[in-house]
Amino acid sequence: MNQQPAHNRISYSQISLFQKCPLSYRFRYIEKRPSKPSPHLSFGTTIHRVLSRFYNEYDGQFPNFSLLESLLDKNWVSEGYTSLEEELQWKKNALIALRNFYKNTDLSKKLPLEFEEWFEIPFPDFTLVGKIDRVDRTNNGRLHVIDYKTSGKLQSYDQVKKDLQLAIYYFACRYKYKEDPEKVSLYFLTQDEIVSAELTEVEIQEAVNNILETYQHISRAIDENSFNANVSKLCNYCDYLEFCPAANRTTQVQSLALELPDTFEERFRQYLEKLISIEEDFERLKIERENIERELIAEMERNGEKKVKFEDFIVELVEGTRYSTNESQLIETLKKHSLFESVVNINIRALQAILKNESIPEYVREEIQGQIQVNEVVKKIRVTRIAEQ
Ligand code: SF4
């Protein structure tokens, strides 16, 4: 039985989270706050489950793609999607990922040496634990470590060489099989790309030193109950942003940009300047968005594309239609067939204009006014440049 305290079993996820932000490590691993459900998380869990069960069910017969489809249905994790539409889009992405996997996997060959297997490597003060997605034997009879990626950008060869998780898996294979892998790979399933690298002894030693050093930092943080917050733009993706005091304080200060001055006039100026600059940015971004959209449409048309899969995105050329009508005749036709009311929406602004229009008889305005109820008074700010009034 393992006698070490819980934090003495360290995984790559723990190391990586502590390196990103020690405070988020405390939230997850000390306070045991759950991570927020999200499409990326559910999608990743689903694909990993499907691929591991696929190999479990593989009985030596060449399997049909329908096996993957039915495993996808059975193992789909439905948490974290904000709408059915969003979920269906992710399901389409899952099918793309599985098709890529099916196309690239030679199932007439031997099964992987292992898939989704746990390892434990004892170090003097702790045990390094983890699970490797897949280990194959190459044609040369050497080990090949594969980690499935279901989100994030494609990585370069240099990034794969520096990937701490892959180095840990390499080290785990050395410990378990007493032999060094020929190569390690990240398999980007939705992008259909495999990026592989051979690791050198220097790179493995650097990774081990990194693990030892991070373990020392984690131990010290736990002993002293002191976990620094690393506030950065990555906070926007943190599961604990909502209740993180450090990030919220910074966000508030950033949103007001500065400390508030003492006088009403100065405070007013500060708020107003911020509001105007947001409005200007908004207008500029709207124009920028339209220009970029136009460029994208032109690019896609030049290439004869209607749908482009690019990294984590699918860009589609969607055709909308603008109409013009002969309004008076159309109204007559709709009225004749008793359909006018189904296309008319009450426009409160137009109504307000009628109520202000003195050429409309008083009794008509009163009758209209009598049918409008005020449900709620909403306070808003309207800013108009004096020259525009
Ligand atoms: S919100 Fe930012 S500072 Fe707070 S725990 Fe998360 S990453 Fe750390």
The rounded average pLDDT for each run of 10 residues, N- to C-terminus, in the chain (389 residues) is 61 96 93 89 94 82 85 93 90 93 79 89 94 92 94 86 96 95 94 93 95 95 90 85 77 50 77 78 77 84 86 81 82 87 79 87 87 74 67
Domain ranges (residues) in the chain: 6-35+112-224, 264-316
CA of 27 to the centre of ligand 1 (A): 9
Structure confidence by residue, pLDDT tens digits, 254-281: 554 445 667 788 778 877 877 887 777 7
pLDDT at 387: 63
Q: 146, 185 in Cβ contact below 8 A?
A: yes
Pocket of ligand 1 (CB under 6 A): 21, 23-24, 27, 229-231, 234-235, 238, 240-241, 244, 246-247
Residue in 17, 28, 230 to alter for ligand 1 test, most ligand atoms within 8 A of Cβ: 230
Instruction: Write out pLDDT tens, residues 373-382.
Output: 776 677 777 7
At a CB cut-off of 8 Å and minimum separation 6, what does 103 contact? Answer: 192
Mean pLDDT of the chain: 85
278-331 residue pLDDT tens = 777 777 777 778 878 888 888 888 888 888 888 777 888 888 777 778 888 888
CA of 240 from ligand 1 middle (Å) equals 6
The amino acid present at 360, given as its one-letter code, is I
- What's the pTM? 0.64
pLDDT of residue 208: 96
Q: Rounded to the nearest whole angstrom, what is the distance from the C-alpha of residue 26 to the centroid of ligand 1?
A: 10
What are phi and psi for residue 200, nearest 5 degrees? -95, 165
Whole-number pLDDT of residue 188: 93
339, two tokens: 């359909």
Give the integer Cα–Cα distance in Å for 170 and 181.
6
247 CA to middle of ligand 1, Å? 6
Q: Token digits for 120?
A: 């434990």
Question: Of the residues 36, 237, 238, which should be mutated to test ligand 1's pocket, given the most ligand atoms within 8 Å of the CB?
Answer: 238
Q: What is the DSSP string of 352-378?
A: HHHHH-TTS-HHHHHHHHTT-------
The torsion region of residue 257 among left (phi > 0), alpha (psi -120 to 50) and beta comes to left
Neighbouring residues of 102: CB distance < 8 A, sequence distance ≥ 6: 65, 68
Question: Ligand 1 centroid vs 248 CA: distance in angstroms?
Answer: 9
For the CA of 234, the closest atom of ligand 1 is 7
